A and B are shown apart, each in its own frame.
Chain A
């Protein structure tokens, strides 16, 4: 067992490093860069005991820390992780060093502030996943917006102001409703304990309103159709690192929110509205798949592809009742949730890798337009090999992580309804079409662009980033069992929990 407050360390260490960086200012850019890298790597190393000491036999919260915080509201500093949160925390600490490396030479102004923003953001994101107190969760959730807002707003592209405002408005608007729901739950339960919210009886009206409030917050984050249009703009304007964090981690907050709040707190409303969730998820897979096909901008294409892939997360999460309706048994619901979780982790790795890949090209050619490229493989064969690998993963190739989640969700969806599986499986065609068409136009062919003709292949720093992610994508694809094992008790617990109505008994 671990006798030090590991979660607090994971939250506050990167924030502390970020503050030091801010204090350091622009005087020591090189030292600041290394400090940021070491800080993020140290955080990752320190998060490994979470995985290694994780008890895979229980759904209970682990590594729990509990302190008084704001007594007036009965809010507490309460941290802990279960099988849902722990993999996401480790994903966060794993991805952050890549972001630091991605900015190594690409960022030219206010470098230390740039790294500081990412490290502070890392701590806040870990806080979101690890909070067991709803107020604490909300503070981290909203605080997280600030560094991201700054990252896009300062280091972003030419239309960054439009993108940041859109991003801010969308997410803030969604979150406000969540706050209302949390306050209501607080008033009803007297505290901010998420576990207390989960066990509390609620009438159908209450549940529906709470569910919709949460939905607005989480759907924007995921993002689900039709509240997704902020994402392509934000990605396009964000610097590479911002896109990576946005796609790899921040989108997962929405998926995590459904598993932590919506489903367990309002299971009856989830049941009532599962048709809506399933429909929106399938729209994300199919509609967005077609939209991704016609994008002219690489980052937009990958952004749309992210939305389509996140559709599997929401689809897998809300299949339980349809499976019960179709088969009379709960068998298969856990598979949908397993698939949703695996898809989140996998998408974190793959979308991160794809955006890093675009960043590598952007640093050289300074364009995101697909038409500005062509024949990259002639000049950058090593990079091309990685990019093709990640593209294959993005189109769900078996033996890469991209396959596992989609496969499980399709298998589970088939139990619910043939047509759900049918529409979900469209991703096999659409995902391959938009990703490999991108590869065809960017990587293959002859060099037609002056800028592409003079680029050099990946350097050592870029090679290491790509190689580590490639190993991770393949490892998770070849042997996902350990990840599934970690989640198993939590998934089973959630399935049992949501199958029990929370409606108060009639008097």
Chain B
């Protein structure tokens, strides 16, 4: 098995190196061929691995490739741990990545950075696989940071755009805040368990953390396990964009759409969810940590969903929906329904990648328009995009029978079963979230694909397909200051217009490929994954937290689950959301404007994203620059240099000039002074000790 796993990891890496370093020689076709081959290989082998694990042909794999280093008796390795949790992640990552690779052929067709793009997304696939397949914290952190770097490179892919290179720096730094906590969490794990290997840590955890407390603030003893879990969770908050570290994800939409689908929806942002699920043996030991996770997740699910209601940029609506759904997954983690979180992670990966790719298809079809107010009735022009987008939206709102239904309904039920103090709050958040999700999802569908055609076709003669090239040339005009207002950051250059058109097959094929699991995967997987023993020992749940175990008693097959679902509150909330979206955006299209002006303070609050960006910018970005400036000018220049260094130099110089009566400022006079000083000191020392 080790060789298979090695091939799975290395195939995308080698492809990335070939496309990246030798891109010039192998050309565009060469670059996409080699990277698609690499990822396809990884995908096929991942599916085989999953099959072997499910059928029992192969046992869970745990092994080291090589020893990274040994320090002070602690051995850190590079190796793999592949159980069913990992195998599922591998399949999701490689499958979505493969779809995105194919899609990119169409989406980036005219971009001068074609080979570079393929190299990056293959490198991303490698990094993400290293992250999920790791068998230790060090390698987890490697994968964690590596996906962050590739995300940085891809958000800033169009590096001449001021907004893009602002967004990628912001994304990296906010993630680093998360990583700061994460690294301390890893240090805590090593401190208490003496190891960084998953197996050893989990085996030792109970004993190692039992009764241990930490006094971070003297006088306040906190449970060591709580501190450790919270520190690790800070990492997850960064990567999975939980409030208040969510600010980077909407801005990351500056990157090309394929990576929004792959990185900022399906895979990288779910790394935090995966990590917490992987660490379930640790998180189960601290109810305080679980409650915190629950509250953070609930807030993210609810408040970020609200922002989706007012945005008019098609990609950003999907981005806020991603934030909200990540909140849902975090909520599931908080109530110990790790399997539910991972299950939702999987279904979400399919339907959200689908939605992003569909949005990208719309953007191409509209000649680079991202503003939904300038769309409408696109179903006439883009039938495949329309239907697949509809499927994705249905899955997202949890329409009975779709994959999202199974995962979201189970998740909400799980929250209602939980006995944690924060569970009630979480329950209301996720429940109202259902309505909000349905509303903004179908607002998107109706504004884009239904209603009146609001786009301007007068420039029909001007229609052309090149988008990326055009993007690169036309956007310095709206270069903001570093402080970007992301609502205006879409590429509204001068090439709009023309009749919308359906995208080429390389774009629509991935849509169809993703639509299939978005519709059906829930049917087959809910039983084993949520209520069966699919995850086996990969996920550990304390008996008292076992909400999914409670639900399992009532579970009688997928069909029964659907039947039960359509009698429940979430279903009616979802339908209500769709209805109001239809009412406001198809029927009574002047109502939303009136509501917005009637509740204008609230609308302002949403439009400015609760002012998180402005506050962070003022406090952290400006604040640290001012602090740096003060330390530099006052501390270094005035105090140290001015007073101590130049001051003593002047003093020495003055002293020398008095004694010797010669000009100062010459090196030898300083040196001479020093030699005198040396002699005096020496003499003193010698006299003092030798008597």
Contacts and interface: CB of A to CB of B under 8 A. Distances in A.
A334 B71 contact: yes
Interface string B585-626: 000000000000000000000000000000000000000110
A436 B625 contact: no
B478 to A, nearest CB: 13
A229 B641 contact: yes
Given A290-B628, A333-B72, A480-B69, A180 B183 contact: no
Contacts of A291: 628, 631-632, 635-636
Nearest to B196: A411
A429 interface: yes
A432 B674 contact: no
A432 B172 contact: yes
B645 interface: yes
A245 interface: no
A229 B72 contact: no
Interface string A345-382: 00000000000000000000000000000010110000
A165 B665 CA distance: 9
Contacts of B461: none
Interface in B129-153: 138, 141-142, 145-146, 149, 152-153
B657 interface: no
Contacts of B640: 226, 229
A331 B73 CA distance: 8
Contacts of A165: 667, 670
A339 B74 CA distance: 13
Given A173-B674, A415-B191, A433-B624, A287 B68 contact: no
Contact of A294 (B69, B191, B632, B671): B632
Interface stretch (A40-48, A62-70, A189-197, A417-425): A417-425
B187 interface: yes
A180 B681 contact: yes
A312 to B, nearest CB: 13
- Most chain A C-beta atoms within 10 Å of own C-beta, residue among B159, B179, B190, B677: B159
Interface in B660-691: 667, 670-671, 674, 677-678, 681-682, 685-686, 689-690
B160 A446 contact: yes
Interface in B71-98: 71-74
B4 to A, nearest CB: 22
B71 A408 contact: yes
Given A287-B635, A335-B74, A398-B142, A184 B68 contact: no
A143 interface: no
B365 interface: no
A445 B165 contact: yes
A338 interface: yes
A377 B173 CA distance: 21
B74 A444 contact: no
A293 interface: yes
Given A229-B645, A481-B69, A445 B179 contact: no
Contacts, number: 160
A180 to B, nearest CB: 6
B55 interface: no
A33 B72 CA distance: 45
B649 interface: yes
Contacts of A404: 69
Nearest to A413: B187
Interface string A374-398: 0101100000000010001000011
B644 interface: yes
Contacts of A480: 68-69
A392 B149 contact: yes
A418 B214 contact: yes
Contacts of B177: 429
A407 B179 CA distance: 12
Contact of B71 (A168, A335, A377, A479): A335
B613 to A, nearest CB: 17
A432 B685 contact: no
A337 to B, nearest CB: 9
B67 interface: yes
B649 to A, nearest CB: 7
Contact of A399 (B146, B183, B186, B190): B146
Interface residues of A, number: 73
Interface of A is mostly: helix
A398 B68 CA distance: 12
Contacts of B659: none
Contacts of A429: 173, 176-177, 180
Nearest to A427: B180
A397 B677 CA distance: 47
B671 A414 contact: no
A294 B169 CA distance: 16
Contacts of B681: 177, 180
Contacts of B667: 165, 168
A432 B173 CA distance: 7
Contacts of A333: 72
Contacts of B146: 397-399
A301 to B, nearest CB: 11
A319 to B, nearest CB: 11
B173 A332 contact: no
Contact of B160 (A339, A375, A437): A375
Contacts of A184: 685, 689
A325 interface: no
Interface string B156-171: 1001101001100100
A180 B678 contact: yes
B176 A338 contact: no
A407 B180 CA distance: 11
B674 to A, nearest CB: 6
A414 B224 CA distance: 13
A170, A291, A419: residue with the most chain B Cβ atoms closer than 10 Å: A291
B72 A414 contact: no
A440 interface: yes
Interface string A59-87: 00000000000000000000000000000
A293 B628 contact: yes
A375 B476 CA distance: 12
Contacts of B66: 479, 481
A275 to B, nearest CB: 16
A179 B674 CA distance: 13
A294 B628 CA distance: 6
B628 A292 contact: yes
B273 to A, nearest CB: 21
B59 interface: no
Contacts of A138: none
Contacts of B142: 398-399
Contacts of B625: 293-294
A323 to B, nearest CB: 10
A334 B166 CA distance: 41
Contacts of A169: 649, 670
Most buried by A among B69, B177, B191, B636: B69
A333 B645 CA distance: 35
B476 to A, nearest CB: 5
Nearest to A206: B689
Contacts of B72: 331-335, 338, 412
A390 to B, nearest CB: 13
A384 to B, nearest CB: 9
Contact of A290 (B145, B624, B644, B670): B624
- Per CB-CB distance, the 5 closest pairs between chain A and chain B, nearest first, are A414-B187, A290-B628, A294-B628, A398-B142, A335-B72
Given A294-B632, A481-B67, 19 more contacts: A168-B667, A170-B645, A173-B674, A176-B674, A176-B678, A291-B635, A292-B628, A293-B628, A398-B146, A407-B183, A414-B190, A418-B216, A421-B184, A436-B152, A443-B159, A444-B160, A446-B160, A446-B476, A484-B70
26 contacts: A169-B649, A170-B645, A177-B681, A180-B678, A180-B681, A180-B682, A184-B685, A187-B689, A229-B640, A290-B628, A291-B628, A334-B71, A375-B160, A398-B142, A398-B146, A404-B69, A407-B138, A408-B71, A410-B184, A411-B186, A421-B187, A429-B176, A432-B172, A432-B173, A440-B166, A479-B66
